[in-house]
Structure 1
Amino acid sequence: MKAYIKGISYFLPEEVLTNEDLSNIFPEWNVEKISSKVGISKRFVSSPNQTALDMAESAAQKLFVENNIEKSSIDFILYCTQSPDYFLPTSACILQDRLGLATECGALDFNLGCSGYVYGLALAKGLILSGVARNILFVTSETYSKYLHPQDKRNRSIFGDAASASLISTDGFAEILNFDLGTDGSGAENLIVKTGAAKNKEKAEDLLIDEHQDPHSSDYLFMEGSEIFSFTLQRVPELVNNVLTVNGMKNEDIDLYVFHQANKYMLEHLRKKLKIAPEQFYIYMENVGNTVSSTIPIALCEANKEEKLFGNIVLAGFGVGYSWGGTVLKCRK
């Protein structure tokens, strides 16, 4: 038995935060500077009462409609998020009820960020090959905007909110091949929200504004950009080479590379370091931003609209954790 991606859809909230909006908030940051550095013109932001689970439900409903999927066929839910509605119960259980799926359907959450889509494909493939499930609803959804301090111009220019939904099944348009996965928890504090969970339950109220007028607080997302950049340049080339090796392929066998859409500056560095031709390297973030675990499925969805999903496609996710993972999709010609 094999595992395939059978359909992908995604959902964006209504509120849009453009570079012009950011320039009005932070006059020292002009539109050209933001766009040229991060490669993003606008990003979508969830409303105050809109949660990641709300967006997950909307993405799943879009998937069902756009791909003519019978809800009764779903026998498992995988839900990737780092912004759950509750510590418990599991959000995937609530999603099962909201979508009206059968109570015989298995459901679980897993907490991963930028590598989450690749890890979810690995979990889904394992469930299918073991005979546990045949049609898996795999959802990613994040509301990182709720973790950002209002004065955090750097991260507000990068991150957007979004959700994706994929059907992983025993047939489809893209066969999921072999994986390479990795973890280095020593980098955990370079991308972190320190308070709110069990270790530091209460807010620290320790906000500091540095000489660049950037906020630092345990109560909001902290990202040490230089460390993340160094980790990425070190690990991702090795990841890509390992993915090719475990699939018995070389660069010339690959038709397209789809990486986690972190930011344009980072992606261009990776592309050049790996000597990937621009036409082989798909980027889609200008109009959505860095949507964490949803960047790869959104990019795949858009590449499919452009009829670029054919042959062998390398996926690579990397980031918070540190965590990284890659695989190859073998798409129908």
Structure 2
Amino acid sequence: MITLDAISYYLPEETLTNDDLHELFPDWSVNKIAAKTGVIERRIAAKDEFASSMAIKAASKLFEEHKITPSEIQFILLCTQSPDYFLPTTACIVQHALGIPTTAGALDFNLGCSGYVYGLSLAKGLICSGDVENVLLITSETYSKHIHDHDKSVRTIFGDAASATFIKRNGHGADIRAITFGTDGSGAENLIVKGGGMRHPRVSDSEGTIPSPNGLSGTTLFMNGAEIFSFTLRSVPVMVKQILQKNSLEQEDIDLFVFHQANKYMLDHLRLKLGIPEEKFFVSMANCGNTVSSTIPIALKQAEEQKKIKSGMKVLVAGFGVGYSWGAGIIQY
């Protein structure tokens, strides 16, 4: 049995509140922002705070809160779409900073809102292979550094955060059961940062050679909200059905649904379309925003703290977004 034994997370100190956004964009009222997004404030990484530094803080909290020593760690998986560098791998920087043994493996993987679910499966696979006995799964994202100051549509949604999860063989935590995946690269350009890779080097933006559909800099995040919404309503219900079948369960067998915390508008539509009772649908983004790959672990941790998760419960986790990419799994507590 491969178990999820512990979760901790880190939120930056700086906040971007709805009052702040209203001052920047007077046509958007505080109430309108809250009603549509479900977010009151977002945490924003400082100028000198990056994926590595937030990952280090999240992992350090995990070690302290759960009495885990760095010397125990045998592999680091770090999910990020805002790495410190193209190379070296951010996970290598984190390994050194945390004092994790040089015998440990470490790698980054580039996924967004589905990243945590994928990470659970990657960790499970590594342990099942027999090559390692445990994995430190980290999600760390500074999407705010991708966002244009004048793009109010995404500034209202996204925040920065990092999480750290300890996964091991035959631990005392929750059993990670079967996981399912999905990919549709035809939607790649609906949530994209065009500038910065080899196809569109970031330096070219000063010459105006990186177009962006929203008229802003092509080196910043572009999101086609309508297309992302349509993709989500189309794909997530099918994914939920698939993961239930894969685990030989009915929807009524699930005690709690923890979806990627995209925004309130989208989650409300998904819950109603799937017919999930409100008391079984956990929402937790008001004080941090959409933190991309960190939303699910943060929500799981907060659900535990609020006694929404108890021993014996089955929790369905589902991530979906940029790629397009989606994944879901069952966690048995």
TM bucket by the smaller chain?
Answer: over 0.9
Paired amino acid for 2:322:
V
**Structure 1 residues 209, 176: CA separation in 2 closer, same or farther (over 3 Å shift)?**
closer
Cα distance in 2 for partners of 1:168, 1:63 equals 12
SS of equivalent to 1:179: strand
1:256 aligns with 2:256: yes
**Structure 1 residues 215, 158: CA separation in 2 closer, same or farther (over 3 Å shift)?**
farther
**Structure 1 residues 84, 316: CA separation in 2 closer, same or farther (over 3 Å shift)?**
same
Aligned to 1:136: 135
Please tell me whether the aligned partners of residues 157 and 263 of structure 2 are also in contact (alpha carbons under 8 angstroms): yes
- Tell me by how many angstroms 1:217 deviates: 2.7
Aligned to 1:155: 154
Runs of 4+ in 1 over 6 A off after TM superposition: 207-210
Cα distance in 2 for partners of 1:203, 1:147 equals 16
Paired amino acid for 1:191:
L
Aligned to 2:307: 307
Task: Describe how 1:49-128 pairs up with structure 2 within 5 A.
Answer: 49-128=48-127
Cα distance in 2 for partners of 1:230, 1:178 equals 27
Please tell me whether the aligned partners of residues 52 and 84 of structure 1 are also in contact (alpha carbons under 8 angstroms): yes
Please tell me whether the aligned partners of residues 14 and 44 of structure 1 are also in contact (alpha carbons under 8 angstroms): yes
Cα distance in 2 for partners of 1:217, 1:249 equals 46
Number of aligned residues? 327
Cα distance in 2 for partners of 1:293, 1:305 equals 20
Deviation digits for residues 17-67 of structure 1, max 9, x if unmatched?
100011111111110000000100000001111111110000000000000
**Structure 1 residues 23, 312: CA separation in 2 closer, same or farther (over 3 Å shift)?**
same
Cα distance in 2 for partners of 1:239, 1:172 equals 28
**Structure 1 residues 222, 12: CA separation in 2 closer, same or farther (over 3 Å shift)?**
same
Cα distance in 1 for partners of 2:57, 2:259 equals 25
Task: Describe how 1:188-199 pairs up with structure 2 within 5 A.
Answer: 188-199=188-199
- Tell me by how many angstroms 1:132 deviates: 1.4
Q: Which moved more, 1:317-326 or 1:65-74?
A: 65-74
Please tell me whether the aligned partners of residues 137 and 166 of structure 1 are also in contact (alpha carbons under 8 angstroms): yes
- Tell me by how many angstroms 1:141 deviates: 0.4
SS of equivalent to 1:216: coil
1:145 aligns with 2:144: yes
SS of equivalent to 2:198: coil
Aligned to 1:279: 279
Cα distance in 2 for partners of 1:225, 1:99 equals 38
SS of equivalent to 1:196: coil
SS of equivalent to 2:205: coil
Please tell me whether the aligned partners of residues 46 and 143 of structure 1 are also in contact (alpha carbons under 8 angstroms): yes
Deviation digits for residues 231-274 of structure 1, max 9, x if unmatched?
00000000000000000000111000000000000001000000
Gaps of 5+ in 2: none
SS of equivalent to 2:111: coil
Please tell me whether the aligned partners of residues 212 and 218 of structure 2 are also in contact (alpha carbons under 8 angstroms): no
Aligned to 2:11: 12
Cα distance in 1 for partners of 2:211, 2:253 equals 50
Aligned to 1:203: 204
Aligned to 1:328: 330
Q: Normalized against structure 2, the TM-score is what?
A: 0.96
Aligned to 2:231: 231
Aligned to 1:36: 35
Q: Which moved more, 1:266-275 or 1:129-138?
A: 129-138
Please tell me whether the aligned partners of residues 7 and 172 of structure 1 are also in contact (alpha carbons under 8 angstroms): no
**Structure 1 residues 267, 232: CA separation in 2 closer, same or farther (over 3 Å shift)?**
same
SS of equivalent to 2:308: coil
Aligned to 1:3: 2
**Structure 1 residues 314, 96: CA separation in 2 closer, same or farther (over 3 Å shift)?**
same
Cα distance in 2 for partners of 1:157, 1:132 equals 43
Please tell me whether the aligned partners of residues 51 and 84 of structure 2 are also in contact (alpha carbons under 8 angstroms): yes
Please tell me whether the aligned partners of residues 211 and 218 of structure 2 are also in contact (alpha carbons under 8 angstroms): no
Identity of aligned residues (%): 56
SS of equivalent to 1:203: helix
Please tell me whether the aligned partners of residues 212 and 222 of structure 2 are also in contact (alpha carbons under 8 angstroms): no
Q: Which moved more, 1:170-179 or 1:72-81?
A: 170-179
Please tell me whether the aligned partners of residues 8 and 63 of structure 1 are also in contact (alpha carbons under 8 angstroms): yes
Cα distance in 2 for partners of 1:130, 1:61 equals 27
Paired amino acid for 2:14:
E
